[in-house]
Chains A and B, each alone.
Chain A
């Protein structure tokens, strides 16, 4: 049978024949990932399984990025568990200090993920690597422990929703807006148990970073993976990040899709997801005048160099409103250095921003930017659940980096073009 992209990648990793969606297949995995929150549980399960060794010490990545630099004694103890395990197992890719970044920005940069790979991670935003054409999906710690021990795991072959984007992007509109628009349209369970496959001229023109931003939020529609077919850009990105031998895998002609959506983006302005779900999406102009107390620019969704440049372009020669705390967290050390070398930090500091270390920190209400009751934050992160960034009485609005930067300057939510 003709395979869609998700089926094609799964087929490349199993000896069983994939005959349709709903089938349960066991696949070999290319990389297994966990972080400082999920690895301790995975390690507990791994030991409970009686496993003595990880299946391949080069194919396990342990990235301590959520509460690091360790925010308190408990988080330090958790990282210690992960560190000790990494040493015991001889895990090659263990990161916690100056070499550590937000996992989903870090691993592509290190060349650890690429097209055709199957990546499983104990983090829901593992789907980010779909931007490179990998079948990448989040699982729980015990599933990850099993994958670390066996080098394989089971998947239910998903049905696929194909989303084609056409038209011309307006100024200040980018990848974040494309994915928010889709989530707003199909809802937070619109792709539940399913794969999303993105295509069309707008996608072809999008950078790899932008594709990763979109793939990152596939889970916010309930999706299992957010897939982009690899192309010349993907191969160039992989080669530039030290990978060799990557090949492009294409969906077969006549492959089966559960649903096909055609979205025209011409005339679409920046999108903002309002509290308390990522599908509560409205055009930025409808929210004009809404006061903000904090702006966060960073995370696995929008903490890459392109995002920082976009924010800097808005912030240049301007200052954050006196009532707004502007927090900027470059997602990896490499991005941090690049931003510094390009002079972006001068712009940020002149704008009154706090530039912090690479960390997931505020996105999940961990540390470095927690909200008090009644406070409102505009963030380039991926979730705005109630209490996500702090108090249950606080609010998070999700937007692209230019909108977050402009809103920080205005002290209220605003279209960057109207600043």
Chain B
């Protein structure tokens, strides 16, 4: 997967109430959630985002509630990848389950500035900063997660498992 877009940088411990406040949780519509992405961080934040832009965060991104509305809101806002120093555990599962690619790069995040143009190559395990010319290495997606991504997310993965079960029965 190759994504090129502008970096939008946020801080540490960005919680799910910042990503999508609870008052928007009366819907599961990705367009509506996307239009309110980061509304708990700064009203109108999402207006800066263009399709295929990349969210860049400090440590523990996505901490807080288990709401899957958070990765859906990020995807709905047009951002297919989040690069962070580290992710909160539930958010990490949710991201992959929803088809949002999450790259944990540790202190490499410090080489990425707000507004830099980035090229993310998940297969090569590399983030190229096209603005500064610097590269940041990222670990490849873990095999168990790759299996999910290859299947197209958790929904098709379980669908396949259920079909196998039925054949076996």
Q: Which residue of B lies closest to A123 (CB)?
A: B66
- Is the Cβ of B68 less than 8 Å from the Cβ of A188? no
| Across-interface contacts of A124 in B (CB, < 8 A) | 64-66, 90
Instruction: Decide yes or no whether A145 CB sits under 8 A from chain B.
Output: yes
Instruction: Decide yes or no whether A366 CB sits under 8 A from chain B.
Output: yes
Q: Which residue of A lies closest to B142 (CB)?
A: A24
- Is the Cβ of B90 less than 8 Å from the Cβ of A364? no
- Is the Cβ of A385 less than 8 Å from the Cβ of B88? no
8 Å CB contact of B90 from A51, A139, A149: A139
- Is the Cβ of B155 less than 8 Å from the Cβ of A74? no
- Is the Cβ of B65 less than 8 Å from the Cβ of A145? no
Interchain nearest-CB distance for A88 vs B (Å):
17
Tell me, in angstroms, the Cα distance from A365 to B26 when the chains sit together: 13
Q: 1/0 per position for A135-147, CB-CB distance to B under 8 A?
A: 0001111110110
Q: How many residues in B have their beta carbons less than 8 Å from beta carbons of A?
A: 41
| Across-interface contacts of B27 in A (CB, < 8 A) | 74
Tell me, in angstroms, the Cα distance from A38 to B93 when the chains sit together: 15
Q: Which residue of A lies closest to B144 (CB)?
A: A24
- Is the Cβ of A139 less than 8 Å from the Cβ of B66? yes
Instruction: Decide yes or no whether B139 CB sits under 8 A from chain A.
Output: no
| Across-interface contacts of B157 in A (CB, < 8 A) | 146
Instruction: Decide yes or no whether A254 CB sits under 8 A from chain B.
Output: no
Instruction: Decide yes or no whether B53 CB sits under 8 A from chain A.
Output: no
Tell me, in angstroms, the Cα distance from A338 to B89 when the chains sit together: 37
Tell me, in angstroms, the Cα distance from A51 to B166 when the chains sit together: 11
Interchain nearest-CB distance for B48 vs A (Å):
18
- Is the Cβ of B40 less than 8 Å from the Cβ of A386? yes
Interchain nearest-CB distance for A40 vs B (Å):
6
Tell me, in angstroms, the Cα distance from A198 to B117 when the chains sit together: 46
| Across-interface contacts of A192 in B (CB, < 8 A) | 60, 86, 88-89
Tell me, in angstroms, the Cα distance from A139 to B67 when the chains sit together: 8
> What's the interface size class on A, roughly?
35 or more
B-contacting residues, A126-172, CB 8 Å: 126, 138-143, 145-146, 149-150, 154
Instruction: Decide yes or no whether A237 CB sits under 8 A from chain B.
Output: no
8 Å CB contact of A387 from B17, B68, B144, B161: B17
Stretch binding the partner chain, chosen from A42-50, A346-354, A405-413: A42-50
Most B CB within 10 A of own CB, among A44, A123, A140, A150: A140
Instruction: Decide yes or no whether B9 CB sits under 8 A from chain A.
Output: no
B-contacting residues, A253-290, CB 8 Å: 277
| Across-interface contacts of B98 in A (CB, < 8 A) | 140, 142
Q: 1/0 per position for A288-316, CB-CB distance to B under 8 A?
A: 00000000000000000000000000000
| Across-interface contacts of B94 in A (CB, < 8 A) | 139-140, 142-143
Instruction: Decide yes or no whether B129 CB sits under 8 A from chain A.
Output: no
A-contacting residues, B106-132, CB 8 Å: none
Tell me, in angstroms, the Cα distance from A126 to B153 when the chains sit together: 24
Instruction: Decide yes or no whether A340 CB sits under 8 A from chain B.
Output: no
| Across-interface contacts of B23 in A (CB, < 8 A) | 365-366
B-contacting residues, A335-372, CB 8 Å: 364-366
Tell me, in angstroms, the Cα distance from A177 to B46 when the chains sit together: 38
- Is the Cβ of A188 less than 8 Å from the Cβ of B89? no
Interchain nearest-CB distance for A102 vs B (Å):
14
A-contacting residues, B7-43, CB 8 Å: 13, 15, 17-18, 21-23, 25-28, 40, 43
Tell me, in angstroms, the Cα distance from A219 to B60 when the chains sit together: 12
* Contacts known (A154-B144, A189-B88, A386-B40); A146 close to B158, Cβ less than 8 A: yes
Instruction: Decide yes or no whether A82 CB sits under 8 A from chain B.
Output: no
- Is the Cβ of A193 less than 8 Å from the Cβ of B89? yes
* Contacts known (A37-B25, A75-B26, A277-B13); A51 close to B162, Cβ less than 8 A: yes
| Across-interface contacts of A397 in B (CB, < 8 A) | none
B-contacting residues, A39-63, CB 8 Å: 40-41, 44-45, 48-51
Q: 1/0 per position for B54-78, CB-CB distance to A under 8 A?
A: 0000011001111111010000000
- Is the Cβ of A366 less than 8 Å from the Cβ of B162? no
- Is the Cβ of B60 less than 8 Å from the Cβ of A189? yes
* Contacts known (A142-B98, A150-B162); A365 close to B90, Cβ less than 8 A: no
Interchain nearest-CB distance for B144 vs A (Å):
5
The 10 closest A-B pairs by CB, nearest first: A74-B26, A140-B94, A189-B60, A140-B68, A138-B66, A142-B97, A49-B158, A364-B22, A124-B66, A48-B155
Which A residues lie at the B interface, using CB under 8 A? 24, 37-38, 40-41, 44-45, 48-51, 66-67, 72, 74-75, 77-78, 121-124, 126, 138-143, 145-146, 149-150, 154, 188-189, 192-193, 219, 222, 224, 277, 364-366, 383, 385-388, 392
Which B residues lie at the A interface, using CB under 8 A? 13, 15, 17-18, 21-23, 25-28, 40, 43, 59-60, 63-69, 71, 86, 88-90, 93-94, 97-98, 144, 153-155, 157-159, 161-163
Other A-B pairs beyond A142-B94, A385-B64, 7, CB < 8 Å: A37-B67, A44-B28, A77-B26, A78-B26, A142-B97, A222-B88, A385-B40
